[in-house]
Amino acid sequence: MNQAKIILSLMFFTMAAAFYFLTALSYVGYWVVRKHWLGQAATAFAYIALLSMTMVLVSRAGEAGHAPFSNLYESMVLFIWALTIGYLWMEKRYRMKTIGAFVMTIAFLAVIAASMLPYRFKSAEPLNPALQSKWHWLVSLLTPLGLQKYAIGWLDFHVFTTFVAYAAFAMSFGLSLMFLLRERFESKKKKNILVDMLPESDTLDELSYRTIAWGFPFLAVGIVSGAVWANYAWGTYWSWDPKETWSLITWFLYAAYLHARVTRGWKGKRAAYLSIAGFLAVVFLYWGVSFILPGLHAYA
C-alpha cells in the first residue's frame, strides 16, 4: 500500500485531534469565563476540526480504495464527524454555545478513544469477501462514465445510517446530562453562575427529545439495511447475533422513550434517565459487543 497516502490520513487525524482538543477547551472556557470572543473561537475551531475530520475520511478512502467505513477506527472517525455536523447545525439553528462544552467534549473523548485503538483496528485493509456489497444498479449506472470504482453498496449505507444514529444518541446523552444538572439547581432554586449559563431545562429536554427523534429512525434504517445485506451475504435477514440483538435492545429502549414521552407525557428527569440508559446501550452495542461478545460482526 502507498506509504505516502497512509501518512496523509495520519497527518489529518493528528490535526483533527489537535483541533478537537482546542474546540472542547474553548467551548468549556467560553462556558466558564463567558467571553464572547472565546465562543467565536470555539465555533471556528469546531469548523476546522470538522474539515480535518472530513479530510481524514477522504484520505482514508483514497488509501483503502473504498468508502472508509470498514473497521472500528474508521467508524469512530465517521461517528465524530456526524456528531460534529449535528452539533454545528444545532448551534447555528438555536444559537446556544454552552451545549458545545458538553457535546464537543464527548467528541474529543471519542477522538482519544479512536487514537488509542490497537493497530489491527486501524490499518486500512482491502475488503474481505463478505464486505463487498456494491449495488449493481449503481455500478451499471457509473460504468459508462468510468466511475464504477466509486460505486457504494450495502456496507456503506448500513454503516453510515447506523453512525448517524449513534451520533444523534450521543448528542441526546450530552443534552440529558446538561438537563439533569440544570434541573437539579432549578428545582432547589439554587443559583450557580455556571449552571445558569446553560439553556433552560425545558429547552434542553425538548432538544434531547428532538435528537432522539432523529436517531431512532436512522437506527431503524441501519438495522433494516443490515438485514437486507445479511440476507444477501449470510442467507438470512436476522440471526440474533449479539450485534443484531444489541441494536434491537437499543432500539427498543428508545422506542420505550418515545412512547413514554409522546403518549404519557414522560418529560424531564425520567426521560433524561431513559435517554442516558439508551446511550449506555449504544456504547455497549458499539464497543462492548465488538470486544467482548463474539459474533458475525467480530471484524468491526
Single residue of 37, 119, 137, 240 touching another protein by CB under 8 A: 240
- Counting contacts by CB under 8 A, is residue 129 touching another protein? yes
Single residue of 44, 180, 260, 283 touching another protein by CB under 8 A: 260
Give the DSSP letter of residue 252. Answer: H
Phi, psi angle pair for 80, to nearest 5°: -65, -40
Least distance (Å) from another protein to the CB of residue 51?
Answer: 28
What spatial distance separates the first Cα and last Cα of the chain, rounded to whole Å?
Answer: 21
Please classify residue 285 by burial: count the beta carbons closer than 10 Å to its beta carbon, then call 0-12 exposed, 13-18 middle and 19+ buried: buried
- Counting contacts by CB under 8 A, is residue 236 touching another protein? yes
189 to 208, contacts with another protein by CB under 8 A? 206
Find all residues with CB under 8 Å of 152, minimum gap 6, and list them: 67, 134, 135, 138
Least distance (Å) from another protein to the CB of residue 6?
Answer: 14
- Counting contacts by CB under 8 A, is residue 139 touching another protein? no
> Closer to another protein at the Cβ: 1 or 112?
1
Least distance (Å) from another protein to the CB of residue 110?
Answer: 24
Give the DSSP letter of residue 144. Answer: G
Least distance (Å) from another protein to the CB of residue 76?
Answer: 22
Do 47 and 88 contact (CB within 8 A), yes or no? yes
Single residue of 14, 132, 143, 192 touching another protein by CB under 8 A: 132
> Closer to another protein at the Cβ: 125 or 186?
125
Single residue of 248, 276, 283, 296 touching another protein by CB under 8 A: 248
Do 26 and 41 contact (CB within 8 A), yes or no? yes
Single residue of 185, 214, 273, 287 touching another protein by CB under 8 A: 214
Single residue of 71, 75, 133, 176 touching another protein by CB under 8 A: 133
Least distance (Å) from another protein to the CB of residue 249?
Answer: 5
- Counting contacts by CB under 8 A, is residue 176 touching another protein? no
The grid coordinates listed for 75 are 467508524
The grid coordinates listed for 39 are 465562543
- Counting contacts by CB under 8 A, is residue 245 touching another protein? yes
Least distance (Å) from another protein to the CB of residue 274?
Answer: 9
CA gap 168, 174 in Å, rounded: 10
- Counting contacts by CB under 8 A, is residue 140 touching another protein? no
The grid coordinates listed for 72 are 472500528
Least distance (Å) from another protein to the CB of residue 174?
Answer: 19
CA dihedral 156, 11, 84, 32 (to 10 degrees): 160
The grid coordinates listed for 50 are 470538522
CA gap 266, 258 in Å, rounded: 9
99 to 128, contacts with another protein by CB under 8 A? 125-126, 128
Least distance (Å) from another protein to the CB of residue 116?
Answer: 25
Alpha helices in the chain (DSSP H): 3-33, 36-64, 72-94, 98-115, 136-142, 154-187, 193-197, 201-233, 242-264, 268-283, 289-291
